[in-house]
């Protein structure tokens, strides 16, 4: 297997994932170019968009253009609020019939096989649009995605920050983890079963994500990202998330030994 110089790991996080695009903007300006990527959900989407040649600002424009909450996208299916096939239409516009292995950069896309309850890294032969859609299929929001005869949901269920996937594949791992810990919530916030169930999922995902931090040589963990929603719709707030990523990377970069990247 080929050994790379720099790897980049991008966590899930919905529209908060635009932090990743802001980080990529800063890395580009510093002429730091990752050669291998590992991503879950929004991280998988942004890794793939970047790998096909989209600039960070074009990625921002893509997020602005995807109106998932259009009334026509709501699903009558019992297993998801939104029809994942509608999301696939957006993905097909940028990825076409490309397969994961067609990308000029090596990208590892994580999902969860809900039949076997095991994590999945899609093979180079998998259609890129299907792999990304599966990785982004958050339970209860998107219906699960059938890929090559198996049913998949969001990779964040089991590994929202897949740094271990490229451990040993590169000399230096940069990680952008949007999980900054969970804020305190009083008992009255858990009056109904769905609220309690969601909190349990949050705790599980947060703990699993934190365990991956140790695989990163440079961890970028934007503390202010919790003020934003995973379903941000405002262009102004999407811009702010992008800028948060840029400014966090800039601030943390100043703390590094400048010789690390030559």
Known active-site residue 154: yes
Asked if 88 contacts 95 with a C-beta cutoff of 8 angstroms, the reply is no
**Distance between CA atoms of residues 176 and 196, nearest Å:** 28
Our answer to whether residue 75 is catalytic in this structure is no
- 51-57: list long-range contacts, CB under 8 Å, 24+ apart: 51/103, 51/104, 51/105, 51/107, 52/94, 52/95, 52/98, 52/103, 53/104, 54/94, 55/28, 56/21, 56/22, 56/24, 56/25, 56/28, 56/242, 57/21, 57/25
- Tokens 């961890």 locate to 219
Reduced to 3 states (helix: H, G, I; strand: E, B; else coil), residue 33 is: coil
Catalytic residue among 11, 110, 143, 154: 154
**Cross-strand bridge partners of residue 123:** none
Active-site residue, from 38, 41, 153, 209: 41
The span from the CA of 27 to the CA of 59, in Å, is 15
**Strand, helix or coil at 118?**
strand
Burial class (CB in 10 A: 0-12, 13-18, 19+), 12: buried
Residues classed as catalytic: 41, 154
């Amino acid at each position: 297997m080929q050994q790379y110089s720099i790897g980049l790991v991008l966590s899930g996080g919905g529209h908060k994932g635009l932090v990743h695009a802001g980080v990529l903007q800063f890395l580009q300006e510093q002429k730091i170019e990752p050669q291998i990527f590992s991503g879950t959900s929004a991280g998988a989407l942004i890794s793939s968009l970047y790998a096909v040649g989209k600039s960070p600002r074009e990625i921002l424009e893509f997020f602005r253009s995807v109106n998932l909450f259009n009334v026509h996208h709501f699903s009558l299916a019992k297993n998801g609020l939104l029809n994942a096939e509608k999301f696939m239409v957006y993905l097909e516009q940028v990825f076409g019939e490309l397969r994961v292995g067609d990308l000029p950069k090596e990208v590892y896309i994580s999902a969860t096989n809900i039949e076997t309850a095991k994590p999945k890294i899609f093979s180079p032969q998998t259609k890129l649009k299907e792999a990304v859609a599966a990785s982004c299929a958050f339970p209860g929001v998107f219906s699960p995605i059938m890929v090559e005869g198996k049913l998949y949901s969001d990779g964040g269920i089991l590994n929202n920050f897949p740094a271990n996937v490229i451990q040993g594949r590169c000399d230096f791992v940069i990680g952008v983890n949007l999980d900054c810990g969970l804020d305190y919530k009083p008992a009255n916030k858990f009056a109904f079963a769905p609220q309690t169930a969601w909190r349990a999922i949050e705790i599980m995902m947060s703990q699993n994500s934190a365990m991956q931090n140790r695989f990163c040589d440079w961890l970028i963990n934007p503390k202010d990202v919790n003020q934003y929603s995973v379903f941000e719709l405002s262009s102004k707030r999407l811009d702010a998330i992008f800028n948060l990523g840029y400014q966090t990377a800039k601030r943390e970069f100043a703390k590094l030994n400048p010789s690390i990247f030559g």
